[in-house]
Structure 1
Amino acid sequence: MTATTRAPADGTALDLDRFRLRRFLDELAAEGELDIREEPVDLADVAAILQSSEKAVLFRQAGPEKQELAGNVVGSRARLARAFGVPAADVAREVKRRLSNAPELVELTRAEAPVQEEVLEGDAADLLTLPVHLQHGLDGAPYISATIDYTADPATGRRNCGMRRLMLRGPRTAGVDLIAPSDLRVMYMAASARGERVPVAYVVGCHPIDMVSAVMKEPRDELALISSLRGAPLPVVKCVTNDLMVPADAEMVIEGYFHEAGYVEKEGPYGEYLGYYGGVKTNPVFHVTAITRRRDAVFQTATISGNRMDLTDTSNLEALRMEMAVWSALEGVARQPVAVYAPVSAGGSMSMRFSIRPTYPGEARSALYAVLGAVGVKNVFVMNEDIDVFDDKQVEWAFGTRFQADRDLVIATGVRLSPLDPSLHGARTGAKAGYDLTWPMEHADRWELQTPAAPTYEGARFDSLEAALRDGPKRFEELMAATGSRDGREIVRALDGLRGQGLDRDDRGRYFLG
């Protein structure tokens, strides 16, 4: 486990607002990326506003309690890039680079930790006083959706983080989705079999980097992972009602435990991250023991489903996670990978595009197989470096002109896919497809396969057109450059006059004098 150090008593060693949600919202506002709603808003209207917004939204007066509520915070690649301080196309590579940062945890006392400025216990720890809204029309209840759960394995002590929603069940209980395979599910099932509760703390309201950390699947202490990705020491504090450590600079923490009774409570339905509903499932029950918060805490909600997946928090987070996995898969099979992109409009995990600069025959196909096998994505496209994988129009052009289904389609059957994929129709396994949109190496240098572009008029200058032609075969563009022509029609006239002197053209259309 990563060592934890103590900060000075006055907390001066750390900027406890640097990685808080409110400061990030201020940065978005300065860049015109935040829609601030000053007027009172009913919780019933929040979902429709968020679903139609391409910006992050801050409600100053949400619900009858008039609390501050933020949504769509990471609902775009640009906002994720802003969090890491890099261009949008470089986010995955930046996250991968930061994984090598040595983590540092700095433990604060309760008096020093902003997230424990207010502590609510007993009946005061009431989930129904929080601005939790109904997100989708068929949801089973309002959900707390922008949550990071913090737990620790009692057997190993390793700390675990994830993103799992809470369905309101009452003032101090909630349903939790713990069906999907995960370290936390394994931990809970073992504890439940022993008749033991699992302490858990849910952070609500955090910096986007913390959310990225929570969706990663790295074999390490996952609380320390936040410090690595931040590239800075992480202030932590022990919970009030259990021994779990949580980020001390968060907006709010809901402390509690999963009841030892096991999978006993119906949870759902809920609008899932692929844009369809998940059904009613039997899940454990979460019991609240305390709520701690900053005095000016901003509550956070996440956008998850609907027919514009590209605008949702979860699709953008999932896309980044999948791209990280692809970069890792390519390390051993592609000498010159160029770009990776998971289209967020497909939920971030259903389609994957990557480009490489092939250096030997079969390299692109080997890379395609590697990504299909290593990453849980259903459709994978590989293309040459001249195609911008982020540009739908270029990708469609490559798909239409470089792909032959009987030669370039790779299909893998009987493989595990996301159980939320509605096209499985209840099956336990499905199929993956790989699309090779690259040129075969033996054809890569064919001039007629080069992409046309506007002339640049680069080339050597000559005293006359005839001198340029005597030098060797020239394209028309090169003849214009050779004579300094800014028109071209006079070149046509001069060429016409040379036809009786052996003017000819080769199989690439270049002019020469025989």
Structure 2
Amino acid sequence: MVRQENIQIFDLRSALERLKQQPGELLYTDEPVDPQAELAGVYRYIGAGGTVARPTRLGPAMIFNHVKGFNNIQVLIGLLASRKRVATLLDTTPEKLAFCLMEALQEPLAPVTIPREKAICQEIVHRADEPGFDLRKIVPAPTNTEEDAGPYITIGMAYASDPETGDADITIHRLCIQSADEISMYFAPGRHLDVFRKKAEAANQPLPLSISIGVDPAIEICACFEPPTTPLGYNELALAGGVRKRPVELADCLTVQAKAIANAEFVIEGELLPNVRVREDRQTMSGKAMPEFPGYTGPANPAIPLIKVKAVTHRKQPIMQTVIGPSEEHVNLAGIPTEASILQMVERAMPGRLLNVYAHSAGGGKYMAVLQFKKSVPSDEGRQRQAALLAFAAFSELKHVFLVDEDVDPFDSNDVLWALNTRYQGDVSTVFIPGVRCHPLDPSQVPEFSTSIRDTGISCKVIFDCTVPYDLKERFQRAKFKEVDVRRFAPTLLGED
């Protein structure tokens, strides 16, 4: 892969300029598109991938220049829906993405606040107390399908502070626009902003927050780290600073006591209201929310917290960014931080043995990981399963771990399945860990599916040990082909590294 050192990425627009230098990575269309289901329906065929219902594929990011109902606003989708594209945007290679983030974990750089007059996210201001304010007419949030509960902000960086300690955190949430100035906010169990919200609610106080949309991709990736890698009180913006070797710039909001990302395309300012709940699908009453990463439409929550919007600010001619819930974009957002978390934990426990990790697309970046493990001495036998147990500890939502040897490419599903077929025996190579809490969006984790499941969200985690026992390694040598310089014979076929 050829690095593009001449364009330094610090916001969404510089990221897009970098992609323009990469043939086939960014597609523009002037065809008018309806943000309600049509936009996502188009991208399903262009480049969604992931767990989206087939037919789908990996393809370029896409910018729609003419979105019905919105003038001078482009909508971007699929920016991170390719591991190669993410690597281009983070100045590394697809195989080294987790290592890039692990280095940032070792050298974080805290964000800084700049003066408001320098905050380009506030070039245009819409206040909710002004006549005619309507969030739905300012922010072109699409729906993924015709069944969605409403228009969703799918990649908004929600940023708030602990009302007791002042510690700040940034996360991505399911945000449904409910009215002209209201947004519902779904909290998966354990989210740090929910801890902040509950503290504010206990004091009968609103929690001020900002939602920044359209930012440096490094921020979007780093916002997806979870405990124990980033415990309560850890600001993931410092990781994004570590990736870029420059601090993320924040600005004070105009209407609430919160900060926002200063160069975001859009910023929504608001407050999470105490003791107020709303039915997520109150606009449709369908019982459905939106497509989620496992590939199914998530159920609408009957009572979730509500944000009262105070203002929307944005850059001139802003770019709205969105994702398809089950797409490869979610795989990368969730999976690459998962890989870094697993690498870091296993490296601390047994240095040099875990060579790489892939949070597989089939698991949406959360449910399934492939660990490439090297056994160098007889005493390494058994440590591969210890590494799998550490992976479950590093990322609690992980359901299945596949262990492969150093001669198996963890990023090649056919190679992994080859190991499953030639280096695995079900009765001795499978480890079941029943009764463990996993992720609530897995539809198989219900008592109706199995009598062994005592409560919704509990799962049987499984280790598939597809590694060769150390004392048998000599019997499992792959056929050795002659090393040649293939560029002599096909100089353009493989491209440049």
Secondary structure, counterpart of 1:25 in structure 2 = helix
Matching residue of 2:221: 212
Query: C-alpha separation between the residues in 2 aligned to 1:250 and 1:456?
Result: 49
Tell me the amino acid that sits aligned with residue 440 of structure 1: P
Query: C-alpha separation between the residues in 2 aligned to 1:161 and 1:455?
Result: 50
CA shift for structure 1 position 382:
0.9
Moved more, 413-422 or 20-29: 20-29
Q: Does 2:335 correspond to 1:326? A: no
Query: C-alpha separation between the residues in 1 aligned to 2:375 and 2:19?
Result: 39
Matching residue of 1:148: 157
Shift of the 16–103 alpha-carbon distance from structure 1 to 2, 3 Å rule, reads farther
Matching residue of 2:383: 363
**Partner residue of 2:16 out of 25, 32, 35:** 25
Matching residue of 2:107: 101
Matching residue of 1:438: 467
CA shift for structure 1 position 259:
1.0
Deviations 1:357-403 (A, max 9, x none): 11223222322333244433111011110111111111111110110
**Partner residue of 1:62 out of 59, 67, 71:** 67
Q: Does 2:80 correspond to 1:71? A: no
Higher RCO (C-alpha under 8 Å, 6+ residues apart): 2
Matching residue of 1:183: 192
In structure 2, stretches of 5+ residues that fail to align are: 1-5, 48-59, 282-287, 448-454, 485-497
Matching residue of 1:40: 32
Do 1:63 and 1:131's aligned partners in 2 also have CA atoms closer than 8 Å? no
Q: Does 2:479 correspond to 1:452? A: yes
Query: C-alpha separation between the residues in 2 aligned to 1:369 and 1:453?
Result: 33
Within 5 Å, give how 1:332-351 maps onto structure 2: 332-333=349-350, 335-351=352-368
Shift of the 17–165 alpha-carbon distance from structure 1 to 2, 3 Å rule, reads farther
Matching residue of 2:144: 135
CA shift for structure 1 position 222:
3.2
Shift of the 398–17 alpha-carbon distance from structure 1 to 2, 3 Å rule, reads closer
Q: Does 2:91 correspond to 1:80? A: no
Secondary structure, counterpart of 1:62 in structure 2 = coil
Matching residue of 2:297: 277
Matching residue of 1:238: 252
The CA RMSD measured in Å over matched residues stands at: 2.1
Query: C-alpha separation between the residues in 2 aligned to 1:17 and 1:336?
Result: 34
Matching residue of 2:428: 407
Tell me the amino acid that sits aligned with residue 390 of structure 2: A
CA shift for structure 1 position 206:
1.0
Q: Does 2:268 correspond to 1:254? A: yes
Secondary structure, counterpart of 2:30 in structure 1 = strand
Deviations 1:143-183 (A, max 9, x none): 11120100000101000110013212111111111253211
Matching residue of 1:478: none
Secondary structure, counterpart of 2:179 in structure 1 = coil
CA shift for structure 1 position 420:
0.6
Tell me the amino acid that sits aligned with residue 204 of structure 1: I
Shift of the 84–455 alpha-carbon distance from structure 1 to 2, 3 Å rule, reads closer
Secondary structure, counterpart of 1:324 in structure 2 = helix
Query: C-alpha separation between the residues in 2 aligned to 1:374 and 1:233?
Result: 26
CA shift for structure 1 position 455:
4.5
Query: C-alpha separation between the residues in 2 aligned to 1:61 and 1:33?
Result: 20
CA shift for structure 1 position 125:
4.6
Deviations 1:247-274 (A, max 9, x none): 2111110000111123344345221111
- The percentage of counterpart residues that share the same residue type is 28
Tell me the amino acid that sits aligned with residue 36 of structure 1: Y
CA shift for structure 1 position 106:
3.4
Tell me the amino acid that sits aligned with residue 317 of structure 1: L
Shift of the 197–333 alpha-carbon distance from structure 1 to 2, 3 Å rule, reads same
CA shift for structure 1 position 334:
5.2
Deviations 1:331-352 (A, max 9, x none): 1035322111111132111111
CA shift for structure 1 position 299:
1.0
Shift of the 455–295 alpha-carbon distance from structure 1 to 2, 3 Å rule, reads closer
CA shift for structure 1 position 19:
1.5
Do 2:219 and 2:237's aligned partners in 1 also have CA atoms closer than 8 Å? no
Query: C-alpha separation between the residues in 2 aligned to 1:168 and 1:374?
Result: 33
TM-score normalised by the chain length of structure 1: 0.81
**Partner residue of 1:111 out of 108, 117, 121:** 117
Do 1:380 and 1:433's aligned partners in 2 also have CA atoms closer than 8 Å? yes
Query: C-alpha separation between the residues in 1 aligned to 2:480 and 2:100?
Result: 32
TM-score normalised by the chain length of structure 2: 0.83
Query: C-alpha separation between the residues in 2 aligned to 1:255 and 1:82?
Result: 32
CA shift for structure 1 position 100:
2.3
Matching residue of 1:294: 315
- Computing the radius of gyration from Cα coordinates, the structure with the larger value is 1
Shift of the 368–222 alpha-carbon distance from structure 1 to 2, 3 Å rule, reads closer
Query: C-alpha separation between the residues in 1 aligned to 2:335 and 2:104?
Result: 18
Do 1:119 and 1:292's aligned partners in 2 also have CA atoms closer than 8 Å? yes
Shift of the 215–102 alpha-carbon distance from structure 1 to 2, 3 Å rule, reads closer
Do 2:399 and 2:460's aligned partners in 1 also have CA atoms closer than 8 Å? yes
Do 2:7 and 2:17's aligned partners in 1 also have CA atoms closer than 8 Å? no
Within 5 Å, give how 1:217-232 maps onto structure 2: 217=226, 218-219=230-231, 220-232=234-246
Secondary structure, counterpart of 2:342 in structure 1 = helix
Tell me the amino acid that sits aligned with residue 254 of structure 2: V
